A and B are shown apart, each in its own frame.
Chain A
């Protein structure tokens, strides 16, 4: 009896600890967003007061509209959507094609290529910033360049410069290969016996079977690309009409240094978060798979 009692007491204590831990953590996760949200609603006078007024007395909901009418946020927003969707589509295509080839064909060098895909993931992004910038700049016959890459501006200041370097993802290829491995070979052979060509087999038969894989990679790429800053900033510094939401907000920071304009900046920040939040909430279960697939054997 005594044992049971002490057990249940410790069980209750554990329940309390567990939920308090999670709650404290949750507060720390959420309060910063609320702080930003309140900031977006403050008036300039509330900000200029010393100390500043914390709870907006006259919430400026209009700031969320002003963001679109008074800053280039609409252009940024469109660019973000266009670039993110393009990259997502291209990466899904290239990753599934390459992943399929590596999973389902045996040919000379296939093993070596797969090792290459694994190894390539070890190369950090920062190593590529400088050389890719110049490769795009001196790309032959692009943007007024001659055959030797001289004379014009190459792909710089075009969407191509933002999108193309993200055309393939080694991790995505690896991930899709894992998904294709789960498709039985018998299915492919049966289709071949029916006389279907390899492309038809891939696009019509196999691809629909790995939709969960595509969703997983898709949400992964979407979130990554929507939030990408360094590369986009590097190639759109002189092209304000190509900037995305995070990049635009960052590069226009000079216009927001005065207290009076900071509410607008915070409203822009809120706007930059919302689309990805929606996409994520809809597809979050696929995200889990993308992170954990192939990483750990329990």
Chain B
């Protein structure tokens, strides 16, 4: 409000005789919103709409990006879905990863968030539990590579002290995906705890008091009050985590490069390597579209469940 030099009398706005200057026109109520929106619209066209269409076109071609693309219709899709022996493996790996992170990560986050919201020293606990969440994935991967070393890693050394066997966490194909899941859960725990504790804060304390008067123990309180009342949050966390899990591949790229024996090769990683190592841009775009279609279906089902489960559309 410092600029008082040339206040525009409101009446002049509607004075037909005097045409508006360019400056006035731009800052008018009709034009301004479009100017405010212009960066979004411009970048939205260049980096959102155009890429989606472009990727769809590439997926119908055979293109190594060095010579011109050759239109081949739906052949890439046909190859991936019916011939390619790897595609479906990576797809099931993707499902395994996404489902695994839910099964292990969500109950853990829920129980810890429950304990956290009822504990002293919240700032202390919070700082600790959020540490992995803000750590970059390259650091996470290298931290865990050393921890999970078969013979000399801290994890197996500790297990050895307890007289337990030390599996090949990252080298045994039966364990590698589990390890990736565990590391991912470790990374995401703080994030999910945060969402849960926000939900927990919304539960009225009077519910608990009433139940306590009835003689309910803490376990019963948790199972009979917390879990049912937190259902919308749980649903939200479950489903967003699932969708994130389906499209995630950075940790696999850095930690295991998809190995051993392709056991951690998820579909999005498969796409990335196909594009930038083998220069099969067409087929890789088709992979991206198939995975996207699947995620879209899951998302739409999610929206359904949200509406029924009382979660605001997101």
Contacts and interface: CB of A to CB of B under 8 A. Distances in A.
B142 A98 contact: no
A245 interface: yes
Contacts, number: 279
Contacts of A97: 36-37, 39-40
Interface stretch (A23-31, A56-64, A209-217): A23-31
B103 interface: no
B74 interface: no
Given A195-B8, A246-B138, A298-B232, A124 B292 contact: yes
A229 B55 CA distance: 21
Given A296-B311, A297-B310, A298-B199, A105 B33 contact: yes
B39 A167 contact: yes
Nearest to B126: A284
Given A130-B55, A197-B24, A297 B232 contact: yes
A97 B65 CA distance: 37
Given A18-B119, A127-B288, A298-B203, A292 B195 contact: yes
A196 B126 CA distance: 44
Interface string A41-62: 0000000000110100000000
A36 interface: yes
B128 A273 contact: no
Contacts of A54: 154, 157
B314 A294 contact: yes
A255 interface: no
A18 B118 CA distance: 8
B217 interface: yes
Given A101-B37, A249-B142, A168 B51 contact: no
A110 B29 CA distance: 14
B130 A93 contact: no
B138 to A, nearest CB: 4
Nearest to A10: B217
A154 interface: no
Contacts of B24: 197
Interface stretch (B83-91, B143-151, B163-171): B143-151
A148 interface: no
B30 A26 contact: no
Given A229-B138, A272-B138, A124 B27 contact: no
Contacts of A168: 39-40, 43-44, 47
Given A168-B47, A200-B27, A227-B136, A35 B129 contact: no
Contact of B143 (A25, A35, A129, A199): A35
Interface residues of B, number: 106
A100 B39 CA distance: 13
A194 B40 contact: no
Contact of B36 (A101, A192, A193, A245): A101
Q: Is the interface of A mostly helix, strand, loop or mixed?
A: helix
B7 interface: yes
A272 B136 contact: yes
Which of B36, B289, B314 counts the most A-chain CB atoms under 10 A from its CB?
B36
Contacts of B58: 130-131
A107 to B, nearest CB: 6
A126 B33 contact: no
Nearest to A227: B136
A176 B302 CA distance: 24
Nearest to A100: B36
A246 B271 CA distance: 22
A30 B131 contact: yes
20 contacts: A18-B115, A18-B118, A29-B129, A35-B146, A35-B147, A36-B143, A107-B30, A123-B292, A129-B275, A131-B50, A135-B47, A193-B10, A194-B1, A197-B23, A230-B253, A284-B126, A284-B127, A292-B194, A294-B312, A295-B195
Interface of A: 3, 7, 10, 14, 17-19, 21-22, 25-26, 28-33, 35-36, 39, 51-52, 54, 93-94, 97-98, 100-102, 105, 107, 110, 113, 118, 120-132, 134-135, 164-165, 167-168, 173, 192-200, 202, 204-205, 223, 226-227, 229-230, 234, 245-247, 249-250, 265-266, 269-270, 272-273, 276-277, 280-281, 284, 287-288, 291-292, 294-298
A-B CB proximity, top 6 nearest? A298-B202, A197-B27, A198-B32, A131-B51, A101-B36, A227-B136
Given A22-B112, A35-B147, A272-B138, 18 more contacts: A18-B118, A19-B115, A19-B119, A29-B128, A33-B143, A94-B40, A101-B37, A107-B33, A126-B288, A134-B54, A195-B7, A198-B29, A200-B27, A266-B146, A269-B142, A296-B233, A296-B236, A296-B311
